[in-house]
Amino acid sequence: MPAPLLIFAIGNESRGDDALAPLLVRGLEGWAERAGQVELIEDYQLQVEHVTDLTGRGAVLFVDADVSCSEPFYFSEISAEHDHSYTSHAMTPFALLHTYRQVYGVDAPPAFLLRIRGYDFELGNPLSDKAAANLGAASKLARELCLNGNLQRWRECLPNI
């Protein structure tokens, strides 16, 4: 039986601030998984095969670095959206949710995206100091979400737009 909450980190730690999501989930390892309520997955990019990881979940949190979001992070609820990323070497979380619907004939579990502001994505560069500060703030939110699996509470953490 899969854990009710899946946190999926997308990123490449050899590319500077693209390491934000993998570093976030590594910071959650151990205590977040202790009660069997949270599963952590890390990969460079989403692939169509990841659709199977979503089955049986109560909620999914995708985490990724982003050069265009506000500081320190942007947290949003997302839904299935058809785009053409499924034809490339990587998929967006939106396309993965759309593929889930195509494969299983039902909507994917509720899904959220935590985009952490990054600045430097050059190959071989370390995590920037500004991104490290953003990681601290995003990690605090991720811990709160792990401790509180109530989707209404998650939705209360969303920005008022």
Picking from 159, 158, 150, the residue whose alpha carbon sits closest to that of residue 59 is 150
Task: State which H helix or E strand residue 135 sits in.
Answer: helix 129-147
The model's confidence at residue 81, banded by pLDDT at 50, 70 and 90, is: confident
What's the pTM value of the predicted model, to 2 decimals? 0.92
**For residue 84, what pLDDT is reported?**
62
Return d(Cα 9, Cα 6) in angstroms, integer: 10
CATH number for the domain running over 5-156: 3.40.50.1450
> Would you call the peptide bond into 110 cis, given omega within 30 degrees of 0 as the criterion?
no
Picking from 52, 58, 22, the residue whose alpha carbon sits closest to that of residue 37 is 58
The dihedral region occupied by 90, where left means phi > 0, alpha psi between -120 and 50, and beta the remainder, is beta
**For residue 31, what pLDDT is reported?**
73
Return d(Cα 15, Cα 13) in angstroms, integer: 5
Place of tokens 């953003």: 134
Picking from 76, 68, 62, 78, the residue whose alpha carbon sits closest to that of residue 22 is 62
Q: Residues 57-80: what's their mean pLDDT? A: 96
- Give the least confident one: 41-50, 77-86, 108-117, 127-136: 77-86
